[in-house]
Structure 1
């Protein structure tokens, strides 16, 4: 894909994510996608997104910056939502969280085949843990 097509592709992917459309999201992910430090495969990707959406039904991403180079996208996004369901063992805090995410996607034939970045939710979990501490 040309850089303009990659930018449009990412906008469509982000739109599917913001609609919480798991079927559409699956269409952007290669069945054998590799994710740094996370389980691979489209099923694991979609399961992780479903867990996130259950815990944060208002979760949304906003693109801050996107860099395209050959078959790779480097994305900086802001994500936010309200924690109303259990997430990774943390009971609902009802806290609104806002996190920065950085990722590099490798794309082939219109599907993500590799991901490396901050998708492990370290910053998010820190905010939830901080929110649950007595003040």
Structure 2
């Protein structure tokens, strides 16, 4: 993919995340996607995202910065939502959470094959604890 195509590809991925369309999100993931310090595979990624949406049903991501180099994306996002459902064994607190997220993705044939970045779950847990 050309850099402009990667930018459009990421915009589509972010739109699927923000619509909470987990099946569409899955279409962007290689079945055995590797994630730093997290279980590998698209199923694990989707399960983690579904857990986030269970605790924060209005969660949205906003792109702050996106850099493209060859088959890699560097992304700075801001994510947030209201804690109205259970998340990480914490009952709903009604706390509004806003986090900064930094991630690197390697993309092959339109699928994320590797991902690494900040531990968003840890940031979220600390905001509601």
Take 1:39 and 1:102, find their aligned partners in 2: how far apart are those partners? 19
Q: Which runs of 5+ in 1 are unaligned?
A: 130-135
Partner of 2:124 in structure 1?
124
State the match for 1:133 in structure 2: none
The CA distance in 1 between the partners of 2:54 and 2:125, in whole Å, is 15
TM-score (norm 1): 0.93
Q: How much does 1:120 deviate?
A: 4.1
2-structure distance, mates of 1:113, 1:23: 17
Q: Contact 1:38/1:120 (CA < 8 Å) preserved in 2?
A: no
How far the C-alpha of 1:122 sits from its partner, in A, is 1.7
TM-score with structure 2 length normalisation? 0.98
Rounded Cα–Cα distance in structure 1 between residues aligned with 2:119 and 2:103: 7
Alignment partner, residue 66 of structure 1: 66
Point out where structure 2 has 5 or more consecutive residues left out of the alignment. none
Aligned length: 129
| Residue 119 of structure 1, CA deviation | 4.1
Bigger radius of gyration, 1 or 2? 1
Q: Deviations over 1:65-124 (max 9, x none)?
A: 000000000000000000011111111111010000000000000000000001442211
Instruction: Map 1:49-60; keep pairs closer than 5 Å.
Output: 49-60=49-60
Give the alignment's Cα RMSD to 1 decimal: 0.7
